[in-house]
């Protein structure tokens, strides 16, 4: 349960800085838990690695353009921040930094990447270090209503003035125009995430069609990835870590698909750790639900609803790495990461993947 146990050395040149030209050309390290063996394949090989009656579980969250860039109205100083969530009735919770100290009542003039759109926000209340409640001002247009998570007016505003929130380890956090498409799964449907469920970035419509032709079904869950997913573990004993919460849902339709998979002798294949968190948060016996999850999967957790995991490579000492090592077996996944480094796999969001079965 010691945090240093989950550390590993990663050469900086293995951190992927760009997406591949073709999503499914990513490499795939296949990990067989029964034989403790590895096989080097590609994402495009997934159809032949899955079995008849398996069910592929996709997180259909949609990344919002949550990165905010602008200038302090009174000083002209540069300001950057990140939209985190809505706070009813009309406030946003954000995290942001600038030179100097922001004051209650100050305003920021936000601008879009193309310079065509702008929005003024006013700082209303400081909630904790670097986190504020702000109010969007001078709002014109936008649909009024609500989805399951994000008000449509907010989504419309972010689409106008927000930037793609790529992580800082990719090009220093500087987005390119193609990130809006590539830092998003092809099946994204429900807006609400500030980071992509990265295992799903490898899948294409054509590959999903091939998978279905192998009599493998697909179903969706939703988990909106928040900033907490990047929260470092500071406790020496991981049991003392305070796990972040994220909103998620599992529909009755998806429950039915998963039950059919089990009845047919298939395996539940989670695409990404976010799908795992939803499936393992679900009630037993399996039933639909929606709400917040703060599930921290760590030893000696026993998985109930996931048989196979497709996942990217994760940061050292992270909750996601702990989840993966708990699922795959501590020493086996430690060895798999060493193999991936040795074979120069690409790591993190735009990197390669592993399939653990």
Specify the CATH number for the domain of residue 284: 3.40.1780.10
What are 46-72's pLDDT values in tens digits? 999 999 999 999 999 999 999 999 999
Residue 172, domain member (yes or no): no
Predicted local confidence at residue 147, as pLDDT: 45
Residue 41 shares a structural domain with residue 149: no
**Residue 228 — very low, low, confident or very high, per pLDDT cuts 50/70/90?**
confident
- Mean pLDDT across the stretch 106-128? 92
Predicted local distance difference test score (pLDDT) of residue 149: 66
Task: Give the CATH number of the domain where residue 90 resides.
Answer: 2.40.10.240
pLDDT above 90 covers what percent of the chain?
88
DSSP letter, residue 184: S
* pLDDT at position 15: 98
If asked whether residues 242 and 115 sit together in one domain, one would say no
Quick one: 262 and 140 in the same domain?
Answer: no
Same domain, 127 and 252: no
Token pair for 208: 């999903």
Three-state DSSP state, 207: helix
Asked if residue 93 is part of any domain, the answer here is yes
Q: Is residue 173 part of a domain?
A: no
The residues with which 250 forms a beta bridge, in sequence order, are 289
Model confidence pLDDT, tens digit, residues 62-114:
999 999 999 999 999 999 999 999 998 889 999 998 888 899 999 999 999 88
The answer to whether residues 213 and 334 belong to one domain is: yes
Instruction: Please check the confidence at residue 139 and state whether its pLDDT lies above 60.
Output: no
Reduced DSSP (H G I as helix, E B as strand, rest coil) percent helix, strand, coil of the chain, to 5 = 30, 30, 40
> Are 340 and 257 found together in one domain?
yes
Rounded mean pLDDT of the chain? Answer: 94
Q: Are residues 236 and 109 in the same domain?
A: no
Last residue of a domain, one of 119, 135, 163: 163
Tell me the three state secondary structure of residue 145.
coil
Q: What pLDDT, on a 0 to 100 scale, did the predictor assign at position 140?
A: 42
35 and 71 together in one domain: no
Domain count, the chain: 2
Residues 291 and 344 in one domain: yes
**Co-location of 40 and 104 in the same domain:** no
**pLDDT above 70: residue 130:** yes
Provide the pLDDT confidence category of residue 150 given band limits of 50, 70 and 90.
confident
Query: What DSSP character marks residue 151?
Result: B
Q: Is the peptide bond before 226 cis (omega within 30 degrees of 0)?
A: no
CA distance 38 to 43: 15
pLDDT attached to residue 138: 64
pLDDT of residue 327: 98
Q: What would the pLDDT profile of 168-188 be if each residue is shown by its tens digit?
A: 999 999 999 999 999 999 999
Count CB atoms within 10 A of the CB of residue 284: 8
Q: Which domain holds residue 188?
A: 3-63+181-356
Token representation of residue 304: 């109930």
Q: What is the pLDDT of residue 97?
A: 81
pLDDT at 345 over 60: yes
């Amino acid at each position: 349960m010691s945090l240093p146990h989950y550390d590993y050395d990663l050469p900086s040149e293995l951190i992927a800085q760009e997406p591949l030209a073709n999503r499914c050309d990513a490499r795939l390290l296949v990990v067989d838990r029964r034989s403790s063996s590895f096989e080097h394949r590609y994402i495009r090989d997934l159809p032949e690695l899955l079995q008849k009656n398996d069910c592929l579980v996709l997180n259909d969250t949609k990344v919002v353009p949550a990165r905010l860039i602008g200038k302090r109205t009174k000083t002209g100083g540069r300001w950057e921040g990140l939209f985190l969530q809505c706070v009813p009735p009309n406030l946003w919770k954000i995290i942001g930094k600038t030179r100097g100290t922001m004051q209650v009542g100050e305003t920021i003039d936000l601008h879009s990447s193309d310079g065509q759109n702008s929005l003024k926000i006013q700082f209303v209340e400081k909630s904790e270090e670097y986190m504020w409640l702000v109010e969007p001002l001078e709002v014109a247009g936008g649909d009024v209503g609500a989805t399951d998570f994000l008000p449509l007016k907010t989504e419309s505003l972010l689409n106008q003035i927000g930037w793609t929130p790529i992580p800082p380890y990719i090009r220093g956090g500087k987005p390119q125009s193609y990130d809006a498409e590539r830092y998003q799964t092809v099946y994204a449907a429900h807006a609400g995430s500030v980071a992509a469920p990265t295992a799903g970035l490898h899948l294409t419509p054509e590959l999903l069609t091939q998978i279905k032709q192998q009599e493998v079904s697909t179903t969706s869950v939703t988990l909106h990835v928040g900033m907490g997913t990047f929260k470092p573990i500071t406790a020496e004993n991981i049991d003392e870590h305070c796990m972040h919460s994220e909103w998620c849902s599992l529909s009755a339709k998806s429950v039915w698909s998963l039950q059919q998979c089990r009845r047919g002798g298939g395996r539940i294949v989670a695409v990404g750790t976010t799908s795992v968190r939803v499936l393992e948060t679900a009630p037993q016996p399996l039933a639909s639900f929606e709400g917040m999850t703060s599930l921290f999967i760590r030893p000696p957790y026993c998985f109930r609803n996931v048989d196979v995991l497709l996942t990217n490579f994760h940061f050292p000492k992270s909750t996601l790495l702990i989840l993966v090592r708990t699922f795959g077996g501590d020493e086996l996944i430690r060895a798999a990461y060493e193999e991936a480094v040795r074979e120069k796999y690409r790591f993190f969001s735009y990197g390669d993947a592993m399939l653990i079965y």
